[in-house]
């Protein structure tokens, strides 16, 4: 199994934490279909930590909590699949999960077989309670091998938080994506910190194994398990644009059963998703120096078919007026070419430029994201 584009879907942790159950998951599956999320590409529904009993069964296998999931995981997976969605679950490379449920350490092949029999399509694999004498790369290699031999295609999401030089060895393990950051929180400071952290990890990003900047907090507005203040819709728009531009998986974390119209408009923006899911999945690059120290990030990405995505992301607490020299993306007077800029949030064609480009003023924590077509210069 080779992952050609970053996975998209929903994960239970950001909003619900340990408070998960079968009814919630079934209703979430229904909502993902009814609200157009599946049609937009969000096809994974992932149950995070706290789904199991505290101890394994007599046969050494993990057991789903019968009070939370009375029908069992196989029946729940069947329901999710009946909606056209893929079903994901959670485990941990250590002796226990982060919430102190059974981990998969020394049970990797048994657990991989169990997940396959239940119909699991995606495994988030955490890094808590790792034995001191065990190297992380060996633990992820072990589960990667177990999944490759379980008889089912399962997307392997390595959640090692970027620890222990993960970037240098993760592609050896068979993982399809890897957490390059610590946990996200529902506030602007967390979004800014995680985005800035990606600067050192972009060379490791791409098809087959994507940098995972953690789940989205779009639409949470201070409610839920990781809520620490909340964000404005402007900040959520920047958050979504950054994750899309940097080829991060787009895993929704809000309550999709009760989304506002503004949240839907962000999560369902076809042009932003199109940039994230571009079949070439080329590495984005900084196309200008930072303005005001680390205040404005300007990213570009060459897209399949010859277009270029260009984004301006204002990390400052005040309005800013950046500009870019188009030579940074391969356009200058000698080429006889120019770029036609279309704002992917408004759909507006803002003009054709062959030397420099200055977007309209960007508010604090805001962004401008464009899809640019190469045309003949006038």
Q: Which residues are annotated as catalytic?
A: 126, 183
> What is the spatial distance between Cα 12 and Cα 24, in angstroms, rounded to a whole number?
9
Are the C-beta atoms of 235 and 226 separated by less than 8 Å? no
> What is the spatial distance between Cα 255 and Cα 11, in angstroms, rounded to a whole number?
10
Unique residue bearing structure tokens 């619900």: 16
Residues 29, 94, 105, 6, Cα dihedral to 10° = 40
Strand order across the beta sheet in which 367-376 lies: 285-286, 296-302, 308-314, 367-376, 337-343, 349-353
Within 13 A of 137's CA, how many CA atoms are on the CB side? 9
Helices (H), the chain: 13-16, 22-34, 37-40, 73-82, 108-118, 136-148, 166-169, 188-197, 233-245, 261-267, 270-276
Query: What's the burial of 23, exposed, middle or buried (CB within 10 Å: 0-12/13-18/19+)?
Result: exposed
Judged by DSSP in three states, 90 sits in: strand
How many residues are given for the chain? 378
Judged by DSSP in three states, 78 sits in: helix
> What is the spatial distance between Cα 174 and Cα 153, in angstroms, rounded to a whole number?
12
> What is the spatial distance between Cα 39 and Cα 192, in angstroms, rounded to a whole number?
30
Question: How many Å from the N-terminal Cα to the C-terminal Cα in the chain?
Answer: 47
One DSSP character per residue, 143-180 reads HHHHHHTSSS--EEEE--TT-TTHHHHGGGTT-SEEE-
Compute φ and ψ for 352, nearest 5 degrees. -115, 135
Q: Across the strands, what pairs with 298?
A: 312
């Amino acid at each position: 199994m080779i992952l050609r584009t970053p996975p998209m879907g929903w994960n239970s942790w950001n909003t619900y934490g340990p408070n998960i159950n079968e009814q919630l998951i079934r209703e979430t599956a229904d909502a993902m279909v009814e609200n157009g999320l599946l049609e937009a590409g969000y096809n994974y529904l992932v149950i995070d930590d706290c789904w199991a009993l505290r101890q394994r069964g007599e046969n050494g296998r993990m057991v789903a909590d019968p009070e939370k999931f009375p029908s069992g995981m196989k029946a729940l997976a069947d329901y999710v699949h009946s909606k056209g969605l893929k079903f994901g679950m959670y485990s941990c490379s250590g002796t226990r999960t982060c919430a102190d449920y059974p981990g998969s350490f020394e049970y990797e092949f048994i657990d991989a077989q169990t997940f396959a029999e239940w119909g699991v399509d995606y495994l988030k694999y955490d890094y808590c309670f790792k034995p001191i004498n065990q190297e992380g790369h060996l633990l992820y290699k072990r589960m990667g091998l177990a999944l490759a031999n379980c008889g089912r295609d399962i997307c392997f999401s390595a959640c090692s938080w970027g620890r222990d030089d993960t970037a240098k060895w993760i592609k050896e393990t068979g993982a399809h994506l890897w957490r390059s950051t610590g946990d996200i929180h529902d506030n602007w400071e967390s979004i800014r910190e995680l985005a800035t952290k990606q600067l050192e990890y972009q060379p490791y990003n791409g098809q087959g194994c994507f940098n995972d900047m953690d789940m989205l907090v779009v639409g949470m507005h201070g409610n839920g398990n990781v809520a620490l203040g909340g964000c404005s819709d402007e900040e959520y728009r920047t958050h979504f644009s950054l994750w899309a531009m940097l080829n991060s998986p787009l895993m929704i974390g809000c309550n999709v059963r009760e989304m506002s119209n503004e949240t839907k408009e962000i999560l369902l923006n076809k042009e932003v998703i199109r940039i994230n899911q571009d079949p070439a999945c080329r590495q984005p690059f900084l196309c200008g120096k930072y303005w005001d120290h680390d205040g404005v990030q300007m990213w570009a990405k060459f897209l399949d078919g010859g277009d270029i995505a260009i984004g301006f992301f204002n990390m400052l607490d005040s309005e800013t007026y950046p500009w870019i020299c188009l030579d940074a993306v391969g356009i200058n007077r000698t080429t006889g070419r120019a770029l036609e800029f279309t704002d992917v949030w408004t759909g507006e064609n803002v003009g054709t430029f062959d030397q420099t480009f200055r977007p309209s003023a960007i508010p604090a924590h805001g962004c401008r994201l464009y899809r640019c077509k190469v045309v003949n210069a006038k």
